[in-house]
Amino acid sequence: MLKFFERYKTFAIVLSILSVIIIYCIYTLLKPEERLPVYQPDMVNSELVDSTVQYVRKYHKIADFKLVNQNGDTITQDYYKDKIYIADFFFTTCLTICPIMTDHMIEIQEKIKDDEDVLLLSHTVFPVADSVPVLKEYAKEKGVIDEKWNLVTGDKKQIYELARKSYLATKSTGDGGPYDMIHTENFVLVDKKNQIRGFYDGTKADAIQDLLHDLKVLKAEYRD
């Protein structure tokens, strides 16, 4: 009996390896390709969506914009043309969720700093205080890489309209005066067609890992 097993030992090993390869190939072929949803306003918590777009079910995209970054440069949608980007809303003097969100953006910046396809965009919800010099100082303090990450300010009405009508990410319209400001912890993943592909809690480490995973899934979509 031992001689029998010795004689067929090599064959058994080869057969086992081939079996593993075949099973893996079958699993890979049958496993559905992971793909991110394209978010529409009617899929999002209505509190975060302006009433004018709440019931939109298709074709939603980030609207054109014109804002100013930490270097005083005008930033429009053209800066993000054919790019994937991650957007959020913050203000520099926030002492609650913003520091955590900014730390997580810094973590993401480190991951994507050599990736030409991915950029970051942070909008202040307190433009009356967050002037260009203030944003510049904040950017220096936090280690912002200018080529990767724009911190933008501008007309408050435009910023809040972007937040509610485009990014679907804040409960306030900002109409209650210069100091009326409410923002959320949402990080928003935007694809190369200016479509929303994911929302993530910017205060939670596990959500950031989900975002980084989804970023890889989205990038694979463009390689196919």
Q: Is 94 annotated as a binding residue?
A: yes
Judged against a pLDDT cut of 50, whether residue 140 lies above it is answered with yes
41-223 placed in CATH 3.40.630.40: no
Q: Is 25 annotated as a binding residue?
A: no
Ranges 10-24, 41-55, 107-121, 210-224: which has the least confidence: 10-24
Judged against a pLDDT cut of 80, whether residue 4 lies above it is answered with no
HEC profile of the chain: CHHHHHHCHHHHHHHHHHHHHHHHHHHHHHCCCCCCCCCCHHHCCHHHCCCCCCCCCCCCCCCCCEEECCCCCEEEHHHHCCCEEEEEEECCCCCCCHHHHHHHHHHHHHHHCCCCCEEEEEEECCCCCCCHHHHHHHHHHHCCCCCCEEEEECCHHHHHHHHHHHCCCCCCCCCCCCCCCCCCCEEEEECCCCCEEEEEECCCHHHHHHHHHHHHHHHHHHHC
Judged against a pLDDT cut of 70, whether residue 36 lies above it is answered with yes
Residue-level pLDDT at 176 = 61
Query: Which residues make Cβ contacts (< 8 Å) with residue 188, sequence separation at least 6?
Result: 86, 87, 88, 167, 168, 169, 196, 198, 199, 200
Q: What 8-state DSSP symbol labels residue 43?
A: G
Residue-level pLDDT at 85 = 98
Q: Is 123 annotated as a binding residue?
A: no
Residue-level pLDDT at 11 = 56
Q: Read off the pLDDT of residues 86-134 as tens digits, 9 standing for 90 and up.
A: 999 999 999 999 999 999 999 999 999 999 999 999 999 999 999 999 9
